Amino acid sequence: MRINNDLGTWSVRYLQSLQNQQVSNVRNSSQTHVSVTRNISTGTVAEGMRSQINSYREAMASTYNAIGIMNTAESGIQGISNTVQKMKELATQATSNNLTDDQRVRLQEQFSQLSQGINRVVEQTTYDGKRVLGGDIGNMEVQLGTNQEQMSITLPGMDLKNLGLENANLNSVENAQNALKTLDTAIQNVANTKNYVNTISDQLGNAARSLSNTTMNITSSVSSLNDTNAARSMMDLIKTALLSQATSGVVSQSNTNSMSVLRLLG
């Protein structure tokens, strides 16, 4: 999962930056004996920055949530894609006129098992209690910024019925030939959905990086005003996002980055 690895790498670098920044602030504070009094103007600026950070935090939470959904969907789609391809192989064999009755029965049994496997994948591919590939993600609005930038995401149902495979079987040569046609259409639909998920994932990744860069700059400014609470809040937000993704199994391919982040967070 390419996007997952990119975000994991950014998170490590971002947290390291914040951590180094806070250490530097502590050292500077301990080395100076000058008492700094924050005036009303400085306090107003800091308060405005904290308000901005809160807005960006909400946008980041929305974006990370959508990334988790897309990564979960990608995993399920890959499983369905592999299953449909195996079903096509069986259907191709079943178009032969030279099969015995026993051979055709065995092919049909394997075909049925694979078919039901698709429905199991749909039921088990969930994120926050929603069936990501079961039609539960429809017109989901994702907040990408603080100025009402939004993205609408809809994932189609990918169970047997929605793929048109509910009645497909290999009980005869004719049925096998019809199943092949239906499977070709299903394979194309799965591929289209996979491409859609990849496109959305790329857009979400770009939005996440943009949000993170902006938030880091604002957080650095607040930290320079001797207020590291905002920086700590951002670290807690990223920790929550990563742990949420880990729970959903969407960071399984970036364990090294995830463990590095968790060690940083202590």
Render pLDDT for 103-140 as a digit per residue (tens, 0 to 9): 999 999 999 999 999 999 999 999 999 999 999 999 99
How much of the chain exceeds pLDDT 90, in percent?
48
Q: Establish if 191 belongs to a structural domain.
A: yes
Closest among 120, 117, 106, 115 to 87, alpha carbons compared:
115
Say if residues 3 and 203 touch (Cβ distance below 8 Å). no
Give the lowest-confidence range in 92-101, 126-135, 218-227: 218-227
Residue 35 lies in a domain: no
Tell me which residue range forms the domain holding 79. Answer: 2-22+44-265
Lowest mean pLDDT among 69-73, 185-189, 207-211: 207-211
Does the pLDDT of residue 14 top 80, yes or no? no
pLDDT above 50 for 204: yes
For residues 55 and 49, give the distance between their C-alpha atoms in angstroms, rounded to a whole number. Answer: 10
Domain-embedded: residue 32: no
Q: Domain of 126: which CATH number?
A: 1.20.1330.10
Residue 97 lies in a domain: yes
**Within a domain: 236:** yes
Q: In the prediction, which pLDDT does 49 show?
A: 57
